[in-house]
Chains A and B, each alone.
Chain A
Amino acid sequence: MVSNFPLLSLIIWMPVLVGLALVFADTHLKSSTSKLIALVASLLTFALSVPLYFDFDNSTHAMQFVENIPWIEVFNINYHLGIDGIAMPLILLTTFTTVLVVLAAWDSITDRQSQYLGAFLILNGLMVAVFSAQDAMLFYVFWEAMLIPMFMIIGIWGGPNRIYATVKFFLYTFLGSVFMLVAFLYLYSKGGSFDIQTLHDMPLSMAAQKWIFVAFFLAFAVKIPMFPVHTWLPDAHVEAPTGGSVILAAIMLKMGGYGFLRFSMPITPDASQEFASIMIVLSLIAIVYIGFVALAQGDMKKLIAYSSISHMGFVTLGMFMIYKIIANTSSTDGAVMAMEGSMVQMISHGFISGGMFLCVGVLYDRMHSRQIKDYGGVVNTMPAFAAFMMLFAMANAGLPGTSGFVGEFLIILTAFKASFWIAFFAAMTLILGAAYTLWMYKRVVFGEVTNDEVAKLQDINGREKLILASLAFFVLLFGLWPAPIFEVMHPTIENLIQHITQSKLN
């Protein structure tokens, strides 16, 4: 491959343009044509993103596939793209998930289908752009622009309470983001650049770091979401159409974690260390308290949404306990492991939550209910489906052999180096996660057939099998052989730990 070929730009703009065309075409296209176009475009995008993995240089933490051209010269803002070991797996996850979302919409969305598919393609491009932007303003523009298609997706194709949910989603995320913008502007006023690498290397006083950390926290904690600002997520998930839930859970939540790794920790390392204890406590509250909340849910989507918050608690825990680990062990090995655990947890949760939401979507398409009490004995009529859902439920509970185990195990293991009590509370997820997931699974799938509607259910067709099987493949692959993920991100994470353990005070 030619080294200066703008591959990232192609992956970003090709789906955006096709998506726009589909949005404009609307009803002028036959439903089957627009589905075909969307599928080909999403497959092509995925195919284009595969070389990002194979041509990726595992030996360096430097940015790769870099494109850098001036965008707004008067302010030194550049169209600067590039990926490292943190961004690359997330980009692949994005392009892969979009294919599944397009497939999942095949029969279940009938109203304005072309626009629905178009919105997801646009979203796909914008999300890849968020992960690959190396200029803070470019990042911010994509970060915010991404809200627009999601807002429309939930608002147009969502459930009965969709308007409340989508406005809440938009305003919550907007609230967080604008303060991040002020932080960027402040950094620019100090350093005269929006280039992320320059921001990483900029010395900052403690007071400034604390304020900037808080501003970043608002943006990323809302997105991921962390405990006190998580309330938008269950609403958005419940009301969103299946595809929207999948993208939200599999990709958008990861942007919060990505933001912590790309902005909060490297730009404000001293404040991160200062606030690490608070972050750990909030993460543990998310893991334990939200775990209990999930247990009490009667709505399947809501349950998975709370389970996502709980799992994301692991991600933030893994990130912010590194300071304690380094202090206790005076080496960075444990910290690297914890951070890698967070990354693996993010990627694996992308597959698992995607799988769980698609399973609920499969049931919802047939029964038009998400309530656990409306189901029971599904295994009798849908055995193949039950098998797939079993796998995702087990993975969600963290069963060894599935990808859900790897991240949680690494984080709990390293948590012992930080403190016994952190590890203790984190490990409670093994009980809670198993409890809420498997209990839901039992109530929905096992037992006698409870009503006539369940008795009439049709098992999943070939298309649905393909979707679930491809996710199941990755859940098992990374459960049994997670090495590929570690290999690509190891140099980046090591460098990151190096960077964030150096004080920026001067």
Chain B
Amino acid sequence: MNYIIATPEIFMLSMACIVLLADVYLGQGEKVVYRKLAYWLSLATLVFTFILTWKVSPASSQNAFNGLYVSDGLSDVLKYFIYGISFTVIIYSREYLEERSLFKGEYFVLILFAVLGMMIMVSAANFLPMYLGLELLSLAMYALVAMHRESREASEAAMKYFVLGAIASGMLLYGMSMIYGATGSLNLTEISAAVASAQNDKMLLTFGLVFIVAGIAFKLGVAPFHMWAPDVYQGAPTAITMFLGTAPKLAGFALAYRLLVDGLGGLGMDWQQMLTILAVLSIAVGNVIALSQTNIKRMLAYSTIAHMGYMLLGLIAGTSSGYAASLFYTITYTIMTAGAFGIVILNSRNGHEADQLDDLKGLSQRSPWFALIMLILMFSMAGVPPFVGFWSKWFVLKEVVAVGHVWLAAVAVFFAIIGAFYYLRIIRLMYFDSVDESVTVTASADLKFTLSLNGITVLLLGIMPSALLGICFAVFT
């Protein structure tokens, strides 16, 4: 048995339990060191898991646990970025949580469990671990959203998220059962072979596929299955919205890729058509509705819906460079989104949420440096060079054009123009509108440092995208 390649997951599980126990026994004490134990342990765990993943990563794709688990280039790359983003999110959240007395061990334990869920998802080679990973992630997420007990919005958001998330899981599971019925296997490689052999009921397979696509769309927050996203994004505490909006999208990409390409690649013609409808709807709905938002978290939710639509374009292309484009899109999207929520957190103070767009007014005078970072992030999200968001849009567009869907690229860029308007509005508020109040932005050094790094990464990746593009390419060849 080849357990060694699964040591990152085993380590993460152990550490999540240790953090839980340590916090229960030591975290309630008077000493500040102990109260922050969970925080430091979580960060350390992520760093060690990163190193561990890197060390045990096999040179070529390897299976373990009788084909339930796979470690390949895709799982490695996604895991690295999941650790990195989660690490960043924890640093961004610290002060925010402390100010709202949400700084509890549970937060960190739940994040670690969510990360474990994502790790299992990206390494799943079988329906079963895929579903288990997804549920582990989802349950941790439901609890995180509900963590702020006194907040009515958070409770409402958690309820909506739970109910709709459960429906989505149900759909996915139903689709999986159909596929199992048609192919007689839960293993993605065997399913792939069975689908290709044409010795099965096409009707049944397509029927199952519809539910699987719907389930994936729910989890990614793609229109018309996006309804939960705006409410949950707005209702959850910003630190948790930030986590919800970033790392799980990486796992969501793995979910989509493993199920659709690895497992049901033989039905490509069918799911590409479905995804085309979803992508166009998503890009249109996300960009247009975002225009009328006044709450920045809600606006970013609609922006996410649009971004996930763009991400699907790469999958629609159905080529290995198309998948690389989607992967690149997802990675850069999480980096930009983490930064944008980081700015919202930076701007909130002493319990004031600062989640209205107007709260950004005059940020360029209150904090020129972070206004500049936000400017970089917003131009990047709008897809303006020389920032990385341009290359991610460019890459997916290039792939759909390469397979002959020029019209799809034209539709996508048309809505990108509409999208540019609401990103520009944020820049307008920060730079062109005068300040009502002269509250200076105060934040801890760790938040400031990480946020600066985040913004500079978006710029540097935009000027020198070669390395990350190379990594994404290498995964699929």
Contacts and interface: CB of A to CB of B under 8 A. Distances in A.
A175 B384 CA distance: 12
Contacts of A74: 466, 469-470, 473
A163 B424 CA distance: 10
B180 to A, nearest CB: 39
B390 to A, nearest CB: 7
Contacts of A156: 431-432
A179 B420 contact: no
B420 A170 contact: yes
Given A171-B420, A171-B421, A140 B385 contact: yes
Contacts of A151: 424, 427
Contacts of B473: 74
Contacts of A362: none
Interface stretch (A142-150, A258-266, A317-325): A142-150
A143 to B, nearest CB: 8
B409 A185 contact: yes
Most buried by B among A74, A144, A171, A175: A74
Contacts of A142: 385
28 contacts: A23-B372, A71-B466, A75-B398, A75-B469, A140-B385, A144-B385, A144-B390, A145-B385, A147-B384, A151-B424, A155-B428, A156-B432, A167-B424, A171-B421, A171-B424, A174-B420, A175-B417, A178-B414, A178-B417, A179-B413, A181-B413, A182-B413, A185-B394, A185-B397, A185-B398, A186-B406, A188-B402, A189-B398
Given A74-B466, A186-B401, A189-B401, A181 B417 contact: no
Given A155-B428, A185-B398, 8 more contacts: A72-B466, A141-B386, A144-B385, A147-B384, A152-B431, A163-B432, A171-B424, A189-B401
Contacts of B402: 185, 188-189
Interface string B387-429: 0001000100110011000100110011011001100100110
A162 interface: yes
A137 B427 CA distance: 26
Contact of A145 (B368, B384, B469, B470): B384
Contacts of B431: 152, 155-156
B379 interface: yes
B465 interface: yes
Nearest to B407: A182
Contact of A170 (B368, B398, B424): B424
Nearest to A188: B398
Contacts of A141: 385-386, 390
Interface of A: 23, 26, 71-75, 140-142, 144-145, 147-148, 151-152, 155-156, 162-163, 166-167, 170-171, 174-175, 178-179, 181-182, 185-186, 188-189, 211
A71 B431 CA distance: 33
Contacts of B427: 151, 155
Contact of B428 (A75, A163, A211): A163
A26 B416 contact: no
A182 B410 CA distance: 7
Contacts of A211: 406
Q: Is the interface of B mostly helix, strand, loop or mixed?
A: helix
A167 B394 contact: no
B421 A167 contact: yes
A426 to B, nearest CB: 34
Contacts of A175: 417
Contacts of B368: 26
B417 A171 contact: yes
A167 B466 contact: no
A162 B410 contact: no
A182 B420 contact: no
B469 A185 contact: no
List the 4 closest pairs (A to B, CB-CB), nearest first: A178-B413, A141-B385, A185-B401, A155-B432
A178 B416 contact: yes
A182 B401 contact: yes
A174 B398 contact: no
Contact of A181 (B394, B420, B466): B394
A304 B398 CA distance: 41
Interface in B453-477: 465-466, 469-470, 473
Contacts of B385: 140-142, 144-145
A26 B417 CA distance: 31
Nearest to B474: A74
B201 to A, nearest CB: 37
Contacts of A162: 432
A178 B416 CA distance: 9
B407 to A, nearest CB: 10
Nearest to A175: B417
Contacts of B421: 167, 171
Nearest to A167: B424
B409 to A, nearest CB: 5
A407 B402 CA distance: 43
Nearest to B398: A185
Nearest to A208: B406
Nearest to B376: A148
A188 B395 CA distance: 12
Contacts of B394: 181, 185
A147 B379 CA distance: 11
Contacts of A148: 379, 384
B75 to A, nearest CB: 22
Nearest to B368: A26
A171 B413 CA distance: 12
Contacts of B413: 178-179, 181-182
Given A145-B384, A163-B432, A72 B465 contact: yes
Most buried by A among B379, B401, B431: B401
Contacts of A182: 397, 401, 406, 409-410, 413
B443 to A, nearest CB: 19
A458 B398 CA distance: 58
A23 B369 CA distance: 10
Most buried by B among A26, A175, A211: A175
Contacts of A163: 428, 432
Contacts of A170: 420, 424
Nearest to A23: B372
Contact of B469 (A26, A72, A171): A72
A335 to B, nearest CB: 33
Interface in B362-387: 368, 372, 379, 384-386
A217 to B, nearest CB: 14
A73 B379 CA distance: 25
A307 to B, nearest CB: 28
A305 B252 CA distance: 51
Nearest to A141: B385
Contacts of A186: 401, 406
B467 to A, nearest CB: 10
A439 B199 CA distance: 85
Contacts of A188: 398, 401-402
Interface in B199-224: none
A73 to B, nearest CB: 6
A144 B413 CA distance: 14
Nearest to B408: A182
A501 B428 CA distance: 47
Contacts of B417: 171, 174-175, 178
A188 B397 CA distance: 12
Contacts of A178: 413-414, 416-417
B469 to A, nearest CB: 6
A255 to B, nearest CB: 15
A156 B433 CA distance: 9
A218 to B, nearest CB: 11
A179 B432 contact: no
Given A140-B385, A144-B384, A182-B413, A73 B466 contact: yes
B248 to A, nearest CB: 28
A62 B60 CA distance: 48
Nearest to A162: B432
A345 B158 CA distance: 65
Nearest to B465: A72
Contacts of A179: 410, 413
